[in-house]
Each structure stands twice: as structure tokens, then as C-alpha cells.
Amino acid sequence: MVTSDTALPSWNNCASHTAIIEFVQRVTSDGGADYVPPARRIAVFDNDGTLWCEQPAYAQLMFIIDRVRELVRDRPELARQPVVEHLRSGDLAGALNHGVTAVTDVLLQSHAGLTAEEFADDARAWLLSARHPERSVAFGDLVYLPMLELLDFLRANGFRVFVVTGGGVEFVRATSEEVYGIPPDDVIGSSVGLTFERREGRVELVRQPVLRGSPNEGEPKALNIQAHIGRRPILAAGNSSGDQEMLEYVQSGMLPSLCLLVDHDDAEREYRYAGRAITNPDAEPVLNVAARSDWTVVSMKNDWARIFSDQQGMQ
């Protein structure tokens, strides 16, 4: 077992650190009033902005942009669509001026027709090779080290850890095992529709340019946790309004619970911004919700001694 003395070395001695250690001790103390059996120790983590960096744009969006560039090389007429031209040139703000739906359409079209296995191979190859636009490191190196330590600490204490992402489930799964130690089936996310096709005697599941269900943000996060896991988690971590309902759901279970909200307040070592929901940009600021809900806010600036594995500590 990882003890509280050695766990979480990249965390400063602070209130959120204490809250985590105390919570895990409470629910694992056999015979204690708040003991939770291992089968019920389920933790759910948002991905973008909670486990890894989501600025200046989601990794998946960068992946799509690279794919759009490839597609335009083969079919230059595609670039006649203004939204495609903006994406191809990396002008996200310009692309979004055409509306979220127009961007989403390109996103859904960009990998339609690939089999599930072809897409997984593509996503994996991209994630292992692509570099962050503002830092000369691979996207996989922009995982928050304190969060990796937290995942390990929880698992060492009998927790099962799931990723619950607003991003595409197949994209995050492509490297979840090596980046987070989380197998693909423990990733819940937004999905595209697939069709069952027989091609030369083989069954292939082929990506369609449509979402399967709603994007996994807001209420759907709670609903999809139930659909996939079948039990209410006791720990949840998020960073945006899109995580609010998931945290409310976890907090209002009958078992003890801990809700963590990552605050991006470190302009120097990461980025400074308020975590918003894509599907509900006008939601109440999530830090306000956290304050009145008694969630544990994790200040990246004050609580984390290191953020990425390639940075020096700032103590």
C-alpha cells in the first residue's frame, strides 16, 4: 500500500492534499464508520483540463486539424468550405465563428468510413508523435504529474479509476493504458455511431459521421457513468462546468464522497482560465458552484509543486 507519507510527492502540503489523504483514510479504515468496501471505491476523472492540458486547444482538435490537412491534400476542393480552410490553417477562432455545429460536422466527417481499429491506430500514432503547439513536447507529456500520482494512490488503496471525458472515447482510449494505466474499457466518453459491415468475409465496425447519443458533458456524464459502471462513484474530479452534474451526482450518494475541482490559475507554468462547458457556455462559473457546494478546489498554482514531469519544482 502507498502510505500517505510517500504518496503525492508533487503536491504541496495544502488543504486539498490533506482532504485527499483524509478521505482515503476514512473510506479504507476497516471497521470505521465511513468504511467503503473496495467494490464501491470508484473514482471518476474528467480528462481535458483535469488529467492533461487542454490549452490552447483540445488535443483531439489538433488531431482533427492534422487529419483535415491530410484530407485537403488528397481532395483540395474541400478547402473551399470556409470552416475547413480555417481549421486547415490552424485558425480555431476563425473556424468557431462558423458555429460549433459547423466545426463538429467537420470533426465527424474527418474520420468517417474508417474502421474502429483503423481509427484507434491513427489516434495512437498521432498521440505518440504530435507535439504541443506551444511547448516542444509530445501531448502525452502534458499529463499532470500530481494527477498521475493521485491515480496511483487511489489504486493502491483499492479504488477503480475511470476516465469520464467529454472528448471522443476512442481517441482517449488509444493511449489511456500507457498514459494513465487505465484500460480502454474504463474510459467513458462521447461516441460516434458505428455500422456493422461485412467486408470480404470479415466483420468491420465502421465509423459514421454522426454522434451516438449526446456529447458526454453535463448531465450525460452522470447518466453514462450509470450506463457503463452501474454504480455511483465516491470520488470525482473535474475542472469545468461540463463536470458540474457529475460532481453533484457523486456528492449526493449515500456513501462518503470527495469532489475535486482543478482551478487553472497558473499562467506561468500552465494556463490561467475558467473551465467552461462546451455545450453550455453560459453556465454559472464552476468555481462559484464549487464554493457553495463545499467541493475541494485544487489550485494548480498553490497546490502543485510540479505540474508536468519536465518541470522543476517551484517550492
Which residues in this chain contact a copy of itself in the complex, by CB under 8 A?
Answer: 39, 116-117, 120, 160, 162, 169-170, 173, 177, 183-187, 191, 194, 196, 198, 201-203, 205, 212-213, 219, 222-223, 226-232, 245, 248-249, 252, 254
Nearer to a copy of itself (CB atom), residue 177 or residue 284: 177
Q: Smallest distance, Å, CB 269 to a copy of itself?
A: 33
Q: What one-character DSSP code corresponds to residue 315? A: -
Q: Is 167 exposed, middle or buried (0-12, 13-18, 19+ CB in 10 A)?
A: buried
Q: Is 40 exposed, middle or buried (0-12, 13-18, 19+ CB in 10 A)?
A: middle
* 174 contacts 124 by C-beta, under 8 angstroms: yes
Q: How far apart are CA 104 and CA 82, in angstroms?
A: 14
Q: Smallest distance, Å, CB 304 to a copy of itself?
A: 29
Do strands 42-45 and 160-168 pair parallel, antiparallel, or not at all (unpaired)?
Answer: parallel
Q: How far apart are CA 206 and CA 114, in angstroms?
A: 6
> Which residues does 70 contact at the CB level (< 8 Å), separation at least 6?
none
Cell numbers representing residue 242 in the block = 461540463
Nearer to a copy of itself (CB atom), residue 84 or residue 236: 236
Q: How far apart are CA 155 and CA 31, in angstroms?
A: 20
Nearer to a copy of itself (CB atom), residue 32 or residue 183: 183
Nearer to a copy of itself (CB atom), residue 249 or residue 304: 249
Q: Smallest distance, Å, CB 85 to a copy of itself?
A: 33
Q: Smallest distance, Å, CB 231 to a copy of itself?
A: 6
Nearer to a copy of itself (CB atom), residue 120 or residue 148: 120
Q: Smallest distance, Å, CB 217 to a copy of itself?
A: 12
> Which residues does 201 contact at the CB level (< 8 Å), separation at least 6?
none
Nearer to a copy of itself (CB atom), residue 119 or residue 308: 119
* 84 contacts 72 by C-beta, under 8 angstroms: yes
Nearer to a copy of itself (CB atom), residue 52 or residue 119: 119
Cell numbers representing residue 271 in the block = 494556463
Nearer to a copy of itself (CB atom), residue 57 or residue 223: 223
Q: Smallest distance, Å, CB 71 to a copy of itself?
A: 24
Q: Smallest distance, Å, CB 212 to a copy of itself?
A: 7
Q: Smallest distance, Å, CB 204 to a copy of itself?
A: 8
State the DSSP string of 22-73. Answer: HHHHHHH-TTSTT---GGG-EEEE--BTTTB---SS-HHHHHHHHHHHHHHH
